Amino acid sequence: MPVKSLEELKKIREDQIKKVKLRESGESDDQTVEILVGMATCGIAAGSREVLNELITQITDQGIDHIKVVQVGCMGYCHSEPTVQVNMPGHEPTIYGNVDKAFVSDILDQHIGKGKILDDHVLIKTYQSAL
């Protein structure tokens, strides 16, 4: 779709800058949640790029500013790619496998929003208590 005005172009630029900042290491405070997305060759082949883009889109669209999305290499779970690790402040990490675009909403709403572990996709669960 062609850009029709300078204002529209500026809006697109602002949106893209926000998305890029989610991929960079931002300010870190006690409330920052880290989401690590496995982006090795096996993960990319299984769809991790789509998962990463969906995470960034939903976080941006919802205006969430306490989540940092980080691309990482192989997590060692090639059989369960795409893999996503959620690091909640004060809790041990949880690694989810076989993550697809549809599951991204559940991670953001249920795990990060409500502190509920989504057992049907868990590879490693050390997160013991709800928020």
Tell me, what's the pLDDT at 14? Answer: 83
Tell me, what's the pLDDT at 79? Answer: 94
Rg (CA), the chain: 15
Tell me, what's the pLDDT at 29? Answer: 43
Tell me, what's the pLDDT at 24? Answer: 59
H runs (alpha helix) in 36-123: 41-46, 48-62, 101-106, 113-114
The domain spans of the chain are 6-125
What's the pTM value of the predicted model, to 2 decimals?
A: 0.74
Tell me, what's the pLDDT at 69? Answer: 93
Model confidence over 103-128: pLDDT tens digits? 999 999 999 999 999 998 999 765 44
Model confidence over 55-106: pLDDT tens digits? 999 999 998 888 999 999 999 999 999 999 999 988 889 999 999 999 999 9
Model confidence over 22-55: pLDDT tens digits? 555 444 445 789 999 999 999 999 999 999 999 9
> In sequence order, what are the residues at sequence separation of 6 or more whose Cβ sits closer than 8 angstroms to the Cβ of residue 99?
48, 51, 82, 83, 84, 107, 121
What is 6-125's CATH number?
3.40.30.10
